Homo-oligomer: A and B are copies of this chain.
């Protein structure tokens, strides 16, 4: 199976799982449930869930458990997009080629839909259907909360907002920002299979090292797309960082060096997976994919 086929199949499976896990209601509160579905059921590369599913295969984790964890991670990712797109934050009108949630619904509903996705993610992880061993479930909750909380994604978004018009950030600061804002959730996704499979420390460390390089490569590629991409193809507004005079990997390194660095990190990421032999082939290809994608 090619990576493209595998990612398409995984995205479909994750969407079906999200559809089953997200609430429906006949009550007045159904508006927020509809907004949660609107924010998460359509589109996206579903990269993070794919990492959960592929890392789970390395340790022969039950596919039904892996799929629930994959859906929970995607809920967290989608909540972060809904809140980041709000007028008070990045003020984005377009996401995945469609109106953002606050444009389609309204701001209050978008805030609540994000809150609902975030909360539901932890409820899903804590459910016995996600793993038979409560120790594993609680470890998943703990790791996902750490990755997405005030020392992780939430802190990273704060940092990012404050750095919006700051052209003085250096590579160290941008790398730290990236690690918090996107890197830790990618790291959780890449190591979730090891948690589910109760894998030995050495396997977890290999996946964490892979995720570290992958996350950085991903962010540099994102910065490149912001400069070189086409809004229709990328599915969201582009050119915003340049317009804001914001320091990015590209503004500091220049296009050529940024592209080279992303390629190097992708190769380095793949190299960490040697011990998994051919079982990790798709994870290796993902590293290549994130730096060559057009959206």
A114 within 8 A of B: yes
Known interface pairs A28-B163, A151-B23. Does A145 touch B123 (Cβ–Cβ under 8 Å)? yes
Cross-chain contact B115 with A88 (CB below 8 angstroms) = no
Does A170 lie at the interface of the complex (its beta carbon under 8 Å from any beta carbon of B)? no
CB pair A23–B158 under 8 Å, yes or no, is no
Check if A119 sits within 8 Å of B159, measured CB to CB: no
Chain B residues lying within 8 Å of A246, measured Cβ to Cβ, are none
Quick one: which of A5-61 are within 8 Å of B by CB?
22-23, 25, 27-29, 31-33, 36
Q: Which of A86, A115, A146, A177 counts the most chain B CB atoms within 10 A? A: A115
A25 touches B151 (CB 8 A): yes
The residues of B that contact A89 with a CB separation of less than 8 Å are: 108, 111
| Distance between A173 CB and nearest chain B CB, rounded to angstroms | 8
Q: Who on chain B is nearest to A130 by CB?
A: B138
Q: Given contacts A138-B137, A148-B119, is CB(A158)–CB(B28) below 8 Å?
A: yes
Are A111 and B126 touching (Cβ within 8 A)? no
Decide yes or no whether A134 CB sits under 8 A from chain B.
yes
Asked whether any CB of chain B lies closer than 8 Å to the CB of A77, the reply is: no
Contact-residue size bin, chain A (C-beta under 8 Å from the other chain)? 35 or more
Distance from A82 Cβ to chain B, minimum over Cβ atoms (Å): 10
Residue A1 at the chain B interface, CB threshold 8 Å: no
Interface residues in A197-253 by Cβ distance below 8 A to B read none
Once A119-B148, A119-B149, A149-B120 are accepted as A-B contacts, the answer to whether A111 and B134 lie under 8 Å apart by CB is no
Report the minimum CB–CB distance from A158 to chain B (whole Å).
Answer: 4
CA A114 to CA B120, docked complex, whole Å: 16
CB contact under 8 A between A88 and B116, given known A138-B126, A141-B141: no
A257 to chain B, nearest CB (A): 25
A residues near B (Cβ < 8 Å) are: 22-23, 25, 27-29, 31-33, 36, 79, 83, 86, 88-89, 106-109, 111-112, 114-116, 118-120, 122-123, 125-127, 134-135, 137-139, 141-142, 145-146, 148-151, 154-159, 161-163, 173, 176-177, 180
Name the distance in Å between A155's Cβ and chain B's nearest Cβ: 4
Q: How far is the CA of A278 from the CA of B77 in the complex (A)?
A: 48
Closest to A162 in B: B28
Q: Contact check, A88 vs B114: say whether CB atoms are below 8 A apart.
A: no
Closest to A148 in B: B119
Q: Bound complex: CA of A134 vs CA of B140, how far in Å? A: 12
Residue from B107, B135, B159 within 8 A of A134 (CB atoms): B135
Query: Given A126-B141, A145-B119, A145-B122, are A150 and B33 neighbors across the interface (CB < 8 Å)?
Result: yes
Residues of B contacting A125 in the complex (Cβ-Cβ under 8 angstroms): 141
A83:B111 contact, CB within 8 angstroms: yes
Instruction: Assess the B31–A158 pair: CB atoms within 8 A.
Output: yes
